Amino acid sequence: MYHVKEAFYTLQGEGAQAGRASVFCRFAGCNLWSGREADRESAKCTFCDTDFIGTSGINGGRFDTAQALADHITALWPQGASHAVPYVVFTGGEPLLQLDSDLIAALHSKGFEVAVETNGTVPAPEGIDWLCVSPKGNNPLAITQGDELKLVYPQPDAPPERFAHLAFRHFFLQPMDLSAVAIKHIATDGAETVNATTAYCMANPQWRLSLQTHKIAGFE
Protein backbone atom coordinates (compact mmCIF):
# COMPACT_ATOMS: atom_id res chain seq x y z
CA MET A 1 0.00 0.00 0.00
CA TYR A 2 1.35 3.41 -1.02
CA HIS A 3 0.06 6.56 0.65
CA VAL A 4 0.30 9.63 -1.58
CA LYS A 5 -0.40 13.10 -0.22
CA GLU A 6 -0.55 14.70 -3.67
CA ALA A 7 0.61 14.24 -7.25
CA PHE A 8 0.67 16.81 -10.04
CA TYR A 9 2.35 17.82 -13.29
CA THR A 10 4.68 20.82 -13.03
CA LEU A 11 8.23 22.02 -13.67
CA GLN A 12 11.04 21.07 -11.35
CA GLY A 13 11.69 24.25 -9.43
CA GLU A 14 15.17 23.88 -7.97
CA GLY A 15 18.56 22.24 -8.18
CA ALA A 16 20.28 20.72 -11.19
CA GLN A 17 17.02 19.74 -12.92
CA ALA A 18 15.33 23.14 -12.53
CA GLY A 19 12.90 23.88 -15.35
CA ARG A 20 12.37 20.25 -16.37
CA ALA A 21 8.80 19.07 -16.88
CA SER A 22 7.99 16.59 -14.13
CA VAL A 23 5.27 14.71 -12.34
CA PHE A 24 5.69 15.35 -8.63
CA CYS A 25 4.50 12.59 -6.33
CA ARG A 26 4.56 13.51 -2.65
CA PHE A 27 4.39 10.55 -0.31
CA ALA A 28 2.76 10.96 3.08
CA GLY A 29 4.84 10.61 6.23
CA CYS A 30 8.34 11.47 7.40
CA ASN A 31 10.85 9.99 9.83
CA LEU A 32 12.11 13.38 11.07
CA TRP A 33 8.85 15.17 11.90
CA SER A 34 5.25 14.13 12.42
CA GLY A 35 4.01 17.11 10.40
CA ARG A 36 2.10 18.47 13.40
CA GLU A 37 2.97 21.97 14.60
CA ALA A 38 2.76 20.78 18.20
CA ASP A 39 5.75 18.52 17.53
CA ARG A 40 7.89 20.95 15.53
CA GLU A 41 10.16 22.18 18.32
CA SER A 42 11.11 18.64 19.38
CA ALA A 43 11.42 17.28 15.82
CA LYS A 44 14.63 16.11 14.17
CA CYS A 45 13.89 18.62 11.39
CA THR A 46 12.33 21.90 12.51
CA PHE A 47 12.14 24.05 9.36
CA CYS A 48 9.93 22.01 7.03
CA ASP A 49 7.16 24.06 5.40
CA THR A 50 5.45 21.14 3.63
CA ASP A 51 2.13 19.47 4.38
CA PHE A 52 2.69 15.74 4.04
CA ILE A 53 -0.03 14.44 6.36
CA GLY A 54 -2.71 12.17 4.94
CA THR A 55 -3.81 11.63 1.35
CA SER A 56 -6.18 14.55 0.82
CA GLY A 57 -4.11 16.63 -1.60
CA ILE A 58 -4.61 16.99 -5.35
CA ASN A 59 -4.58 13.53 -6.98
CA GLY A 60 -3.69 12.00 -3.61
CA GLY A 61 -4.87 8.63 -2.39
CA ARG A 62 -3.99 5.10 -1.36
CA PHE A 63 -2.71 2.68 -3.98
CA ASP A 64 -2.69 -1.05 -3.36
CA THR A 65 -0.03 -1.97 -5.93
CA ALA A 66 2.98 -0.50 -7.68
CA GLN A 67 1.20 -0.88 -10.99
CA ALA A 68 -1.81 1.10 -9.77
CA LEU A 69 0.37 4.01 -8.66
CA ALA A 70 2.47 3.86 -11.84
CA ASP A 71 -0.74 4.06 -13.90
CA HIS A 72 -1.89 7.04 -11.81
CA ILE A 73 1.41 8.87 -12.37
CA THR A 74 1.43 8.06 -16.09
CA ALA A 75 -2.02 9.60 -16.48
CA LEU A 76 -0.62 12.91 -15.20
CA TRP A 77 2.07 13.09 -17.89
CA PRO A 78 0.91 14.92 -21.07
CA GLN A 79 -0.11 12.53 -23.78
CA GLY A 80 1.71 12.88 -27.07
CA ALA A 81 4.84 14.46 -25.56
CA SER A 82 7.03 12.18 -27.64
CA HIS A 83 10.13 14.38 -27.66
CA ALA A 84 10.60 14.36 -23.89
CA VAL A 85 11.47 11.51 -21.55
CA PRO A 86 8.76 11.20 -18.89
CA TYR A 87 10.13 12.23 -15.51
CA VAL A 88 8.73 11.67 -12.04
CA VAL A 89 10.06 13.17 -8.81
CA PHE A 90 9.25 11.42 -5.54
CA THR A 91 9.33 13.69 -2.54
CA GLY A 92 7.71 13.95 0.85
CA GLY A 93 7.87 13.92 3.78
CA GLU A 94 10.45 11.21 3.29
CA PRO A 95 9.81 9.29 0.04
CA LEU A 96 12.20 6.43 0.76
CA LEU A 97 9.90 5.22 3.51
CA GLN A 98 7.62 4.03 0.69
CA LEU A 99 9.44 4.00 -2.66
CA ASP A 100 10.55 0.48 -3.52
CA SER A 101 12.01 -1.52 -6.40
CA ASP A 102 8.57 -2.69 -7.58
CA LEU A 103 7.35 0.87 -8.12
CA ILE A 104 10.61 1.89 -9.78
CA ALA A 105 10.36 -1.08 -12.16
CA ALA A 106 6.72 -0.33 -12.96
CA LEU A 107 7.60 3.27 -13.87
CA HIS A 108 10.63 2.24 -15.91
CA SER A 109 8.37 -0.08 -17.91
CA LYS A 110 6.33 3.00 -18.84
CA GLY A 111 9.41 4.92 -19.95
CA PHE A 112 9.82 7.15 -16.90
CA GLU A 113 13.04 8.35 -15.38
CA VAL A 114 12.68 8.17 -11.61
CA ALA A 115 14.03 10.94 -9.38
CA VAL A 116 13.98 11.19 -5.60
CA GLU A 117 14.40 14.08 -3.18
CA THR A 118 15.30 12.54 0.18
CA ASN A 119 16.72 13.61 3.52
CA GLY A 120 19.26 10.82 3.08
CA THR A 121 18.63 9.00 6.35
CA VAL A 122 16.97 5.95 4.74
CA PRO A 123 18.84 3.61 2.35
CA ALA A 124 17.74 3.92 -1.28
CA PRO A 125 16.50 1.02 -3.41
CA GLU A 126 18.31 0.17 -6.64
CA GLY A 127 17.24 1.69 -9.93
CA ILE A 128 16.75 5.39 -9.07
CA ASP A 129 17.83 7.52 -12.03
CA TRP A 130 18.38 10.82 -10.19
CA LEU A 131 19.13 10.81 -6.48
CA CYS A 132 19.05 14.14 -4.64
CA VAL A 133 19.93 14.20 -0.93
CA SER A 134 19.00 17.18 1.24
CA PRO A 135 20.58 16.70 4.69
CA LYS A 136 18.65 17.88 7.71
CA GLY A 137 20.50 18.92 10.86
CA ASN A 138 22.78 16.43 12.55
CA ASN A 139 20.78 13.39 11.45
CA PRO A 140 23.25 10.74 10.18
CA LEU A 141 23.21 9.99 6.47
CA ALA A 142 22.56 6.50 5.15
CA ILE A 143 23.20 7.79 1.60
CA THR A 144 26.63 9.31 0.97
CA GLN A 145 26.77 9.31 -2.82
CA GLY A 146 24.42 10.24 -5.61
CA ASP A 147 23.66 12.81 -8.28
CA GLU A 148 22.93 15.90 -6.22
CA LEU A 149 23.47 17.10 -2.68
CA LYS A 150 21.22 20.08 -1.99
CA LEU A 151 21.76 21.65 1.41
CA VAL A 152 19.29 24.15 2.83
CA TYR A 153 21.37 27.00 4.30
CA PRO A 154 22.03 28.04 6.97
CA GLN A 155 21.67 25.14 9.37
CA PRO A 156 23.84 25.64 12.46
CA ASP A 157 24.16 21.88 12.99
CA ALA A 158 24.67 21.07 9.28
CA PRO A 159 27.47 23.26 7.89
CA PRO A 160 28.42 22.68 4.24
CA GLU A 161 31.93 21.63 5.25
CA ARG A 162 30.49 18.46 6.75
CA PHE A 163 29.32 17.24 3.34
CA ALA A 164 31.89 18.61 0.89
CA HIS A 165 33.88 15.34 0.76
CA LEU A 166 30.90 13.13 -0.18
CA ALA A 167 30.63 11.47 -3.59
CA PHE A 168 27.94 13.58 -5.28
CA ARG A 169 28.11 14.96 -8.82
CA HIS A 170 26.56 18.32 -7.92
CA PHE A 171 26.61 20.38 -4.72
CA PHE A 172 23.95 23.06 -4.18
CA LEU A 173 23.25 25.51 -1.38
CA GLN A 174 19.65 26.70 -1.19
CA PRO A 175 18.64 29.66 1.00
CA MET A 176 16.25 28.56 3.73
CA ASP A 177 12.71 29.75 3.09
CA LEU A 178 11.83 31.55 6.30
CA SER A 179 8.49 32.91 5.13
CA ALA A 180 6.35 30.05 6.42
CA VAL A 181 7.95 29.15 9.75
CA ALA A 182 9.77 30.95 12.55
CA ILE A 183 12.96 29.12 13.43
CA LYS A 184 14.95 29.70 16.57
CA HIS A 185 18.65 30.54 16.26
CA ILE A 186 18.35 31.43 12.55
CA ALA A 187 18.04 34.97 11.20
CA THR A 188 14.55 35.67 9.89
CA ASP A 189 15.62 38.19 7.23
CA GLY A 190 15.13 36.44 3.87
CA ALA A 191 17.41 38.85 2.01
CA GLU A 192 20.14 38.29 4.57
CA THR A 193 19.84 34.54 4.13
CA VAL A 194 20.09 34.78 0.34
CA ASN A 195 23.09 37.10 0.64
CA ALA A 196 24.84 34.74 3.05
CA THR A 197 24.19 31.75 0.78
CA THR A 198 25.46 33.62 -2.26
CA ALA A 199 28.58 34.71 -0.40
CA TYR A 200 29.32 31.15 0.68
CA CYS A 201 29.02 29.84 -2.89
CA MET A 202 31.32 32.58 -4.18
CA ALA A 203 33.91 31.79 -1.52
CA ASN A 204 33.55 28.02 -2.02
CA PRO A 205 33.01 27.36 -5.74
CA GLN A 206 32.39 23.65 -5.22
CA TRP A 207 28.90 24.81 -4.22
CA ARG A 208 26.33 26.25 -6.62
CA LEU A 209 23.38 28.45 -5.69
CA SER A 210 19.92 26.90 -5.94
CA LEU A 211 16.82 29.09 -5.80
CA GLN A 212 13.23 27.89 -5.53
CA THR A 213 12.15 29.18 -8.92
CA HIS A 214 8.65 27.75 -8.54
CA LYS A 215 8.07 30.12 -5.63
CA ILE A 216 9.63 33.05 -7.49
CA ALA A 217 7.57 32.38 -10.64
CA GLY A 218 4.44 31.46 -8.73
CA PHE A 219 3.74 27.87 -9.78
CA GLU A 220 3.44 24.70 -7.70
Active site residues: 24, 30, 45, 48-50, 117, 214
Cα–Cα distance for residue pair 165/161, rounded to 1 Å:
8
Nearby residues of 66 by Cβ (< 8 Å), 6 or more positions away: 2, 100, 102, 103, 105, 106
Q: Return the C-alpha torsion angle 120, 24, 58, 109, nearest 10.
A: -110
Residue 125: what residue type? P
Tell me which H or E stretch contains 90: strand 87-91
Task: Write out the H or E segment, with its range, that includes residue 70.
Answer: helix 66-76
Amino acid identity of residue 219, one-letter, is F
Q: CA-CA distance, 72 to 74, in Å (whole number)?
A: 6
Strands 208-209 and 167-175: parallel
Exposure of 165 by Cβ count < 10 A (0-12 exposed, 13-18 middle, 19+ buried)? Answer: exposed
CB–CB of 68/3 below 8 Å?
no
